[in-house]
């Protein structure tokens, strides 16, 4: 489309000049030029503009609002704790977080005070700005208070997947450089398994009631709940750490998970992206059963509470039978999903409660077109907020107008406003195809390609912060993409864009497969099987399983 526009424009201008040179009046010369423009394919451009202008204007408005908000916070040197303190001042008694398991409600002031206690407790442990503490527990308000309180004193949390065990768990703790670890009592067995391999200086703290005899006598574990109860809930000294907030682990396409760096500006950018894209409101109540160790639950979900003042209901684990009952109980207006959640809800028998909720928006990703239509129709969902994004990426996109099956779009009329592209690759090995000048080649409509986003470190919407491991960071950056000397973030995800600019997920590159909402490394599975089977050579690859999603990387 871009190349065609570059050809049609000059051709039309030349036509006007030639006809005018022959003595034809300006009015007819312009008419001839316009006719040449239409006959050379310009009618397609006009048709596309007419069909997408409303969507593109909406997207531009979202982009402007997000960029304005992010630039304001950067100018004011805001952090997530300082932004949250503004919300506390506005409505201290409003419910901030609700724990579904206990029904306990934390107001904004209570969350603020508990996180203050966490900050003071962290300083008492001798931790200072730049230190790291691993957080390993199922989702609950305390988990939010922990990383928020640590951030108040500049200590960075490493949010670890509570499904990990043994080598994978140990890897995540070690790669973060954590000096301490806070874990939930429900995960004590997993911690005991790796305790012998942890550094001797590692401090361990547990929250919740431990079963009798679950801890070896030689393992020093301190009672976090008791210590926090005896810590003053007064503001700790303000940290000067304005950069790193916490780490979230993403799938390693060639091995173990990578610790993605989340800075303060990335947190409020992602939360603002969701807030404005899907037209959320301050009085909305969000229901999330997604894990808080991922950005979807913790930033896109809980971020709406901390940055925009919404109430968030947290359920530790998804329950298909209780989903709509929970939404009714807490008057939820927004729910979060992954594709499998919607499929499981559809497989449930029809019950009266599913028609009595007040949910108007479902936000998430991985929803197949056939499930999309059935889900929206059966549960009366007014809006499906499908989006694409990774914790560390700079090429997030969103479906603003409900185009079924699309995870987002990029304007065909003004593509350079948001510099993301699909680039041609060899699908067998996902190697980028380059032209004679060594630059990457953009895909045509309908042609599959890998999604990339141009990196501009000075632009908060275009920067790439990378991972704790520099080698992993370098592998995600490609050079000489749009022009000589530039660089871009390589998503590794194969997508297709239609002629109107709607983008559809096709496949995930690398040696990974998707299972129950998690990206799984085949290399990691091979290593485990090799040890169990005592075999040197083991090959693992994803296959399609009947009854399970394969769209959006599901296997």
pLDDT tens, position by position, 403-451: 999 999 999 988 888 999 999 999 778 899 999 999 999 999 999 999 9
Give the β-pairing of 477-479 and 487-497: antiparallel
% of the chain residues with pLDDT over 70: 83
Residue 329 has pLDDT above 80, yes or no: yes
Instruction: Compute CA 536 distance to the chain's CA centroid, rounded to the nearest angstrom.
Output: 37
**Is pLDDT larger for residue 538 or for residue 221?**
221
Give pLDDT tens digits for 341-366.
999 999 999 998 899 999 999 999 99
The pLDDT score that the predictor gives to residue 323 is 97
Residue 331 has pLDDT above 50, yes or no: yes
Question: What is the Cα–Cα distance from 291 to 263, expressed in whole angstroms?
Answer: 20
Residue 410: closest CA among 425, 395, 391, 430:
395
Q: pTM higher than 0.85, yes or no?
A: yes
Q: In this predicted structure, which of 113-117, 270-274, 386-390, 540-544 has the lowest mean pLDDT? A: 540-544
The pLDDT score that the predictor gives to residue 370 is 86
Q: Which residues on neighbouring strands pair with residue 223, listed in sequence order? A: 206
Question: What is the Cα–Cα distance from 448 to 453, expressed in whole angstroms?
Answer: 16
**Is pLDDT larger for residue 129 or for residue 514?**
129
Residue 412's Cβ-count burial label (10 Å; 0-12, 13-18, 19+) is buried
C-beta of residue 383 within 8 angstroms of C-beta of residue 278: yes
The pLDDT score that the predictor gives to residue 346 is 95
Residue 552: closest CA among 514, 524, 496, 503:
514
Residue 24 has pLDDT above 90, yes or no: no
CB atoms within 10 A of CB 81: 25
Q: In this predicted structure, which of 40-44, 213-217, 263-267, 500-504 has the lowest mean pLDDT? A: 40-44
| Domains observed in the chain | 2-64 (no CATH), 77-317 (3.40.50.980), 414-507 (2.30.38.10), 511-555 (no CATH)
Q: In this predicted structure, which of 92-96, 159-163, 411-415 has the lowest mean pLDDT? A: 411-415
* 357 Cβ contact list (under 8 Å, min separation 6): 324, 327, 328, 332, 379
C-beta of residue 295 within 8 angstroms of C-beta of residue 266: no
């Amino acid at each position: 489309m871009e190349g065609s526009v570059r050809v049609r424009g000059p051709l039309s201008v030349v036509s006007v000049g030639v006809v005018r040179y022959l003595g034809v009046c300006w009015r007819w010369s312009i008419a001839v030029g316009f006719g040449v423009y239409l006959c050379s394919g310009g009618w397609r451009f006009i048709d596309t503009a007419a069909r997408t202008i409303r969507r593109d204007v909406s997207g531009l408005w979202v982009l402007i609002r997000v960029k304005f908000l992010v630039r304001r916070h950067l100018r004011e040197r805001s952090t997530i704790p300082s932004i949250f303190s503004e919300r506390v001042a506005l409505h201290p008694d409003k419910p901030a977080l609700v724990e579904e398991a206990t029904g306990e409600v934390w107001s904004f002031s209570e969350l603020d005070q508990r996180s203050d206690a966490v900050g003071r407790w962290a300083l008492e442990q001798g931790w200072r700005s730049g230190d790291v503490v691993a957080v390993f527990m199922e989702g609950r308000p305390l988990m939010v208070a922990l990383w928020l309180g640590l951030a108040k004193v500049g200590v960075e949390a490493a949010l670890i997947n509570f499904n990990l065990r043994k080598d994978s768990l140990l890897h995540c703790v070690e790669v973060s450089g954590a000096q301490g670890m806070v874990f939930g009592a429900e995960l004590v067995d997993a911690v005991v398994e790796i305790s012998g391999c942890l550094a001797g200086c590692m401090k361990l703290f547990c929250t919740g009631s431990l079963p009798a005899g679950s801890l070896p006598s030689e393992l020093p574990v301190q009672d976090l709940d008791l210590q926090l109860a005896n810590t003053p809930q007064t503001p700790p000294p303000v940290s000067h750490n304005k950069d790193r907030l916490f780490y979230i682990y993403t799938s390693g396409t060639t091995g173990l998970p990578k610790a993605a760096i989340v800075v303060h500006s990335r947190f409020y950018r992602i939360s603002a992206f969701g807030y404005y894209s899907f037209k959320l409101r301050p009085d909305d109540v969000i229901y999330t059963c997604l894990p808080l160790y991922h950005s979807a639950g913790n930033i896109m979900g809980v971020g709406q509470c901390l940055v925009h003042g919404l109430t968030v209901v947290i359920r530790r684990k998804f329950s298909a039978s209780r989903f709509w009952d929970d939404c009714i109980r807490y008057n939820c207006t927004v729910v979060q999903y992954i594709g499998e959640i919607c499929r499981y809800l559809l497989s449930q028998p029809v019950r009266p409660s599913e028609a009595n909720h007040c949910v108007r928006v479902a936000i998430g990703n991985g929803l197949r077109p056939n499930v999309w239509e059935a889900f929206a129709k059966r549960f009366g969902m007014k809006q499906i907020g499908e989006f694409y994004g990774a914790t560390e990426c700079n090429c997030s996109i969103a479906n603003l107008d409900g185009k079924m099956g699309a995870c987002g779009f990029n304007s065909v009329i003004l593509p350079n406003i948001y510099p993301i592209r699909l680039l041609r690759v060899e699908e067998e090995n996902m190697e980028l195809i380059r032209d004679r000048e060594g630059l990457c080649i953009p895909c045509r409509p309908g042609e599959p390609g890998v999604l990339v986003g141009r990196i501009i470190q000075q632009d908060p919407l275009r920067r790439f912060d990378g991972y704790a491991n520099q080698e992993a960071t370098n592998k995600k950056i490609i050079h000489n993409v749009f022009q000589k000397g530039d660089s871009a973030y390589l998503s590794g995800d194969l997508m297709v864009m239609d002629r109107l600019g709607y983008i559809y997920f096709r496949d995930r590159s690398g040696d990974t497969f998707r299972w129950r909402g998690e990206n799984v490394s085949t290399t990691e599975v091979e290593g485990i099987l090799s040890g169990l089977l005592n075999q040197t050579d083991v090959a693992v690859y994803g296959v399609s399983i009947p009854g399970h999603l394969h769209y959006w990387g599901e296997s």
